[in-house]
A and B are shown apart, each in its own frame.
Chain A
Amino acid sequence: SAVISQKPSRDICQRGTSLTIQCQVDSQVTMMFWYRQQPGQSLTLIATANQGSEATYESGFVIDKFPISRPNLTFSTLTVSNMSPEDSSIYLCSVEQNTGELFFGEGSRLTVL
């Protein structure tokens, strides 16, 4: 399976600031996704990161709050903008392999004070 590296692994942020999470894959993949996992909850799809075009957001998520870049087939970033304590979550990058299987990065745990 692809090796997916995310950074930062964790961070503590101040209210009102923004943080960018990076996701690097060791092979080219077509489909990359960003998920959010709030404490004790399931995995919620934020958006599909499309290479060379704007990300496709799920209901309840908007580009102004969660801008996403996907400059090539191995890299993507998710920015959490103007953070509030409600944004405290684990953010997970995931990729779909050619076999159809979905794999996750280790996640980025954000705490907003």
Chain B
Amino acid sequence: GENVEQHPSTLSVQEGDSAVIKCTYSDSASNYFPWYKQELGKRPQLIIDIRSNVGEKKDQRIAVTLNKTAKHFSLHITETQPEDSAVYFCAARYNFNKFYFGSGTKLNVKP
């Protein structure tokens, strides 16, 4: 089925620390895995993505890793800042280009 599991559901870190959010997917045919950040009252915004032909991708303080064998991928945020506080969603693209989302992680960065 089209299942994407995400954990933890909440994550609290001190400013400057790193944060890691993990997701697993069920369909080995999935080939594209985006991450979204949603601030309160706003739409989800794409922050980084990874395709199945690479194992890691970085963009400044954020990075995503993919393990196709284990069918899991992770979001890494380094040197966290208070403005990183938001809800983060992972997603996987399944058949017919449909995207299914994880349950979300509420990240709180304490100043």
Q: Which residues of A contact B (CB under 8 A)?
A: 31, 33, 41-45, 48, 56, 92, 94, 96, 100-107
Contact partners of B98 in chain A: CB under 8 A: 33, 45, 48
Determine whether the beta carbon of A43 is less than 8 Å from that of B46.
no
Chain B nearest CB from A75 CB (Å) reads: 19
Chain B contact residues: helix, strand, loop or mixed: strand
Determine whether the beta carbon of A101 is less than 8 Å from that of B49.
yes
In the assembled complex, B91 has its CB within 8 A of some CB on chain A: yes
Binary per-residue interface labels of chain B (81-107) against chain A in the complex, 1 for a CB within 8 Å, 0 otherwise = 000000001010100111111111000
Determine whether the beta carbon of B43 is less than 8 Å from that of A107.
yes
Contact partners of B102 in chain A: CB under 8 A: 42
Offer 5 A-B interface pairs, CB within 8 angstroms, sorted by A. Answer: A42-B103, A43-B91, A45-B100, A48-B96, A101-B46
Question: Cα distance A86–B93 when bound, in Å?
Answer: 28
Contact partners of B32 in chain A: CB under 8 A: 100
Question: Cα distance A106–B38 when bound, in Å?
Answer: 11
Determine whether the beta carbon of B34 is less than 8 Å from that of A102.
yes
Contact partners of A92 in chain B: CB under 8 A: 43-44
Nearest CB in chain B to that of A92: its residue: B43
